[in-house]
Amino acid sequence: MGANWQLSATVANAANQNVTWSISPSGATSGTIGSGTGIYIAPNAVPSPATVTITATSVADSSATASVPVTIVANDPIGSVASYTQFPGPQSCPASSFDYGSNYGGQGTCFQLAVSCPLVSDFSAYLKVNTPPVVPAGTVLFGVGTGGSGLYDDPATGFADGSTTVGDLLTSGFNTVQVSFGGPFDSGSTPRGWLTGPGGVRRLACRYATVADWVYKNPTIINSAVSASNSAPMCATGNSGGSAVIAYAVYEYGLASEFAMIEPTSGPVMSRIDQGCSPTCSSAQGPICSGSSNVATMCYESADAQIIDEAYQSAGTSTPTPCQDSIAGNPATGAVALLLSDSILYEPGQTVNLPNTIVKQLFGDADTSNAVPEGLTWSLAISPSSASPNPEYQCLASPVAHDIPSYAAGATQIANDIAAACH
């Protein structure tokens, strides 16, 4: 629902390759398609019947048509892990990997996963796993910012105090699974991690959702001392871009039932990509922490816009640039609708129902990025439920800024929150 699909048509034996697009049945409940772009955006609810037909008609010859059926489903489809490999040798993780001591797996056990997702290129994900010496209280996933190319406990690719969060949860009896989509395993060759395009932000988030689903369904690979019956619950935390991909997983990809608790920190930063990329983003005011130095505007900075754009670009190319063009006031046809469709909140005024998942968010009073208004916009959309009757957020006093796990107060707060609520 609300997702997008780029279609194209070729007209045989005609100099004029232009086509007109139409949908049957017609009407808003079937979605929309750009008249000159071929970008189909699904409706925000599953129609009845759920399959619509999209037709391209040649402008040069109106008798020449081609059609394709499209079925709208509630959630985006996750992918699959084609294979996984445990890194060989007694030192299976990078030499720089933080050592938690022999009782907690030392420097960890690391895996490489071959991840395949619909309509995007195959990708490698990496896991660093540490386990407690007791029957685990659950499993916690950790993710770093941007596209998750780094380890949470590695100061070079993650956070200065990330090892405190991981270590505290290990001593509280949790399996810890740090998810990386690149560094330090691949020598920095995929700096954008799961956001490596093309495909667009929302479709690329399938990579994380697929990894999370695999971890949930393979508890004995994560910890050979457990069985499926005692491996749950699974919980997750991630900062900035790492918070956004958790939100995509539990909402767009329908994995809320697999997560007992999530703690996005400094985000989700992609709640409304269209507003972050808008030339009038300064007028798009989001909520901020009371008494903080946060800014209220949803605006992306130029570096943020470049990251968004790279999610749409093929390797070695620098186009298209839908976010940067939109910020400059020159959006391509259909770009605003595309960016809204790729947002976590793909419908203005949307209500996020996560009935099985406890939600808490953390923000830093010294964070002046758009992460706070974007993240709190998502927070206000979450509907209370029996699992999380009062979805809450907490603002940590200055000097805590954007990289919350790099501050002792932030790292400890995350560990305490998850230990208390991951059940």
Please state, for a pLDDT cut of 90, what percent of the chain lies above it.
Answer: 88
Highest mean pLDDT (candidates 96-100, 224-228, 385-389) = 96-100
Q: What is the mean pLDDT of residues 71-93?
A: 89
How far is the C-alpha of 204 from the C-alpha of 420, rounded, in Å?
A: 32
How far is the C-alpha of 215 from the C-alpha of 227, rounded, in Å?
A: 13
How much is the pLDDT for 284? Answer: 86
How much is the pLDDT for 222? Answer: 94
Average pLDDT value for the chain: 94
Reported as a single tens digit per residue, the pLDDT across 84-134 is: 999 875 558 988 899 999 999 999 999 999 999 999 999 999 999 999 999
Q: What is the mean pLDDT of residues 218-231?
A: 78
How much is the pLDDT for 90? Answer: 53
How much is the pLDDT for 130? Answer: 96
How much is the pLDDT for 194? Answer: 98
Of 44-53, 205-214, 267-276, 281-290, the poorest mean pLDDT is in 281-290
Q: What is the mean pLDDT of residues 61-75?
A: 96
HSE, side-chain direction, 13 A CA sphere, residue 10: 2
Look at residue 165 and tell me whether its pLDDT is greater than 80: yes
Look at residue 275 and tell me whether its pLDDT is greater than 70: yes
Look at residue 230 and tell me whether its pLDDT is greater than 60: no
Q: What is the mean pLDDT of residues 363-376?
A: 97
Reported as a single tens digit per residue, the pLDDT across 393-407 is: 999 999 999 999 999
Strand-pair partners of 86: 111
Residue 280 vs residues 8, 41, 114: alpha-carbon distances, Å: 31, 23, 41
How far is the C-alpha of 92 from the C-alpha of 113, rounded, in Å?
A: 14
Helix residue spans in 349-399 (DSSP H): 371-381
Angle (CA) 83-257-115 rounded to 5° is: 20
Q: What is the mean pLDDT of residues 310-322?
A: 95
pLDDT, greater one: 96 or 176: 176
Look at residue 276 and tell me whether its pLDDT is greater than 60: yes
Q: What is the pTM of this model?
A: 0.96
What radius of gyration, in Å, describes the C-alpha atoms of the chain?
22
